Amino acid sequence: MSSLLSKCQKPDAQGRVQHVTPENAGWEYVGFDVYQLNAGQSLTLHSDGNELCLVLVAGLASVSTSKAEFPHIGKRMSPFERVPPYSVYVPHHETVNVLAESDLELAVCRSPSAGSLPARLISPEEVGVEHRGKGRNKRLVHNILPDSEPADSLLVVEVYTAEGDTSSYPSHKHDDKNSPDETYLEESYYHRLDPAQGFCMQRVYTDDRSLDECMAVYNGDVVKVPRGYHPVATLAGYDSYYLNVMAGPVRKWKFTWEKDHAWINSDQYPKG
């Protein structure tokens, strides 16, 4: 199995089913956990030296920190309702308490932080909704924590791709710390499929093919993208959702297209 693929696990005592850290991913910035909590279950998190973005992927909850309370938040009961989620931004050196008010699928996004932003609610109305692409390369994007909104290093976005379509495509990368056209951003992909027994395909590769891995990704799996291009392709019968977390030394999403496939953005595609 690829070292870039983190398989969904059975819930531990806290309900955690995914646990990606800079240490086990072999990078510097992105941390990512997923919890499956039962109604009435509580969870306490410590941000330590990181900022957090808690995304209610599905379900209802109350969230509190030492300085703020966000009671009775949540709306969608499945990510495939395709409406923006509720999220909570939490600064470093905070304690967060989460009470699940229904069965709850909670994503916890982390990256290093030294700033002093306050905790805040990110409501569905504050999430930018964007349709990208054309032909068989269409997707629906929810910009939860884009670079236009305050944070120290985290970027958080979710993407829907219909059966048979591609996304994170044409192939693009953001791994060069010294390029005027790119920012260095590590990235994780948390995948969900509908129906849940489905799978999609994700490839992670570099120009020189020193990294070139193609993975069959099932419901609840995480793909780690330390560098290189990283397109996703869905299969007939199965719609795709994924939650992206990016972070790096410069909080800006700048990327370059792979030259061979950039024509997909042009008027040449779709072919008549």
- In the structure, what pLDDT confidence band is assigned to residue 248 with cuts at 50, 70 and 90? very high
Summarised one tens digit per residue, pLDDT across range 171-219 is 999 999 999 999 999 999 999 999 999 999 999 999 999 999 999 999 9
261 phi, psi to nearest 5 deg: -115, 5
What's residue 271's pLDDT? 78
What's residue 87's pLDDT? 98
- In the structure, what pLDDT confidence band is assigned to residue 221 with cuts at 50, 70 and 90? very high
What average pLDDT does the segment 76-84 reach?
Answer: 98
CA distance 99 to 160: 27
What's residue 154's pLDDT? 98
What percent of the chain shows pLDDT beyond 90? 97
Q: Which of 33, 2, 4 is nearest to 228 (CA)?
A: 4
The answer to whether residue 84 scores a pLDDT higher than 60 is yes
Looking at every residue in the chain, the average pLDDT score rounds to: 97
Q: Which of 203, 191, 190, 205 is nearest to 246 (CA)?
A: 190
What's residue 72's pLDDT? 98
Identity of the amino acid at 69: E
212-218, strands of its sheet edge to edge: 166-167, 232-233, 199-205, 212-218
CA distance 97 to 193: 29
What average pLDDT does the segment 157-161 reach?
Answer: 98
Q: Which tokens belong to 201?
A: 């395909």
- Do residues 184 and 249 lie in contact, with contact meaning Cβ atoms separated by under 8 Å? yes
Summarised one tens digit per residue, pLDDT across range 15-26 is 999 999 999 999
Residue with tokens 């990606």: 20
**Which residues, 6+ apart, have CB-to-CB distance to 264 below 8 Å?**
135, 137, 169, 170
The answer to whether residue 272 scores a pLDDT higher than 80 is no
The answer to whether residue 79 scores a pLDDT higher than 80 is yes
Q: Which tokens belong to 31?
A: 């941390």
Dihedral sign from CA coordinates of 50, 10, 4, 170: negative
pTM (two decimals): 0.97
What average pLDDT does the segment 113-134 reach?
Answer: 96
CA distance 74 to 215: 32
What's residue 1's pLDDT? 78
Looking only at the bridges linking them, the beta strands covering 87-90 and 42-46 are: unpaired
What's residue 102's pLDDT? 98
Q: Which tokens belong to 153?
A: 């290093």
